[in-house]
Amino acid sequence: MATIFRLGQCTVLRILGKDRCKVLNNLATQDLRVLHSGECKETFITDPKGKIFGHGVVAAISEELLFVSVPGQAEILSKHLDRYIIMEDATIQDASWQYEVWLISDVSKLEGPNSGTLERGQCKSIDIQNRSGLWIHAPWIGDRSALLLLDTTIQDADVQMAFGVPVVASSLEHREGWEAMRIDQFWPWVGQDMDAKNLPQELDRNEQTISFNKGCYLGQETIARLDALGQVQKKLVRLEISLGRSPALENEEEVVLRSGDQEVGTIRSVGVRPDGSIVALGYVKRSHFEVGTELKLGTDRIAKIVSPRANESN
């Protein structure tokens, strides 16, 4: 059975105007020129040097685009997008305050009258208690997970009745109940697993986020050059940590990854699965990318690099 987590408010930017796809496409790693209403794609937003400025899901709903990301990104992203609107017919609006966000673990396991079907890469409008909202495929915690963007007056009981599954209180800051699921899904978090110092290829999501034949966009030259070289000097990996106390992210010594006496990486995110096992996301140097590599974590743990997502073979 699926679970629905009530999260609060996240970043929701609305891009309007007949040139909306052109504007966003000029700043994104994904090819958005052919994004039709009812479709969504994951993408990075980049700066002139090809560094990450943002990451999220772009959804095409009727005559607008929505860019949905983690909280606190609206102001910086809207200024960045607006800066590159010259003569185009496009406007950027911060719609974050209009929505309460809910995260569904698996849309294929919903049971209520509003369950319906939402396929991968789809988004659509939805009505709950005669109030309209949006339903967006977003693989944050599973291949079939989705975001609900609903009117802020919607209550837990309304959502539970509509979908026939439990509603669990959580937050976008601490991600109670689903942080390990996010890590196992290899979904990176802006501000924690990536920042403005990272290049998109370092997140190891090329297939999901980068089009290498879409033509020019901001930062494209750097990204194309790195693709031609065929390697990055560091990248994000998923690790399984030997049992024990979960490492404290705020303690620098507990998150350092070492091979012998050499520092080769750093943990960025940690989650505990229901069975008590510990999983993490972290960056390692190119010399230690290989799946199966065991590294020292802190002073008393072993962290083993595993396949990027839990449903892939190790």
pLDDT in tens, the chain (314 residues): 899 999 999 999 999 999 999 999 999 999 998 899 999 999 999 999 999 999 999 999 999 999 999 999 999 999 999 999 999 999 999 999 999 999 999 999 887 766 667 899 999 998 888 888 999 999 999 999 999 999 999 999 999 988 888 899 999 999 999 999 999 999 999 999 999 999 999 999 999 999 999 989 999 999 999 999 888 999 999 999 997 778 889 888 889 999 998 999 999 999 999 999 999 999 999 999 999 999 999 878 899 999 998 876 44
Domain count, the chain: 2
Which pLDDT score, from 0 to 100, does residue 114 have?
67
- On whether both 214 and 266 belong to a single domain, the answer is no
SS3 content of the chain, % helix, strand, coil (to 5): 20, 35, 45
Domain end call among 232, 260, 291? 232
- On whether both 269 and 194 belong to a single domain, the answer is no
The predicted model scores a pTM of: 0.95
Residue environment code for 78-98, b if the CB has 16+ CB neighbours within 10 A, otherwise e? bebbeeebeeeebbbeebbee
Closest CA to 280 of 186, 157, 203, 166: 186
- On whether both 139 and 247 belong to a single domain, the answer is no
- On whether both 145 and 13 belong to a single domain, the answer is yes
In terms of residue numbers, what domain contains 299?
A: 233-314
Domain end call among 232, 266, 300? 232
Contacts of 201 (CB under 8 A, 6+ apart): 210, 223, 226, 227, 232, 235
Cβ atoms of 43 and 124 within 8 Å: the answer is no
The CATH code of the domain that includes 268 is 2.40.30.110
- On whether both 65 and 141 belong to a single domain, the answer is yes
The CATH code of the domain that includes 145 is 3.30.1360.120
Domain end call among 232, 249, 279? 232
- On whether both 14 and 99 belong to a single domain, the answer is yes
- On whether both 114 and 28 belong to a single domain, the answer is yes
- On whether both 135 and 244 belong to a single domain, the answer is no
Beta strands in 143-196 (DSSP E): 146-151, 167-169
3 state SS of 200: helix
- On whether both 197 and 278 belong to a single domain, the answer is no
Which pLDDT score, from 0 to 100, does residue 313 have?
43
Which pLDDT score, from 0 to 100, does residue 303 have?
95
- On whether both 201 and 275 belong to a single domain, the answer is no
Report the share of the chain in percent with pLDDT over 90: 82
- On whether both 171 and 86 belong to a single domain, the answer is yes
- On whether both 100 and 204 belong to a single domain, the answer is yes
Q: Compute the mean pLDDT over every residue in the chain, rounded to the nearest whole number.
A: 93
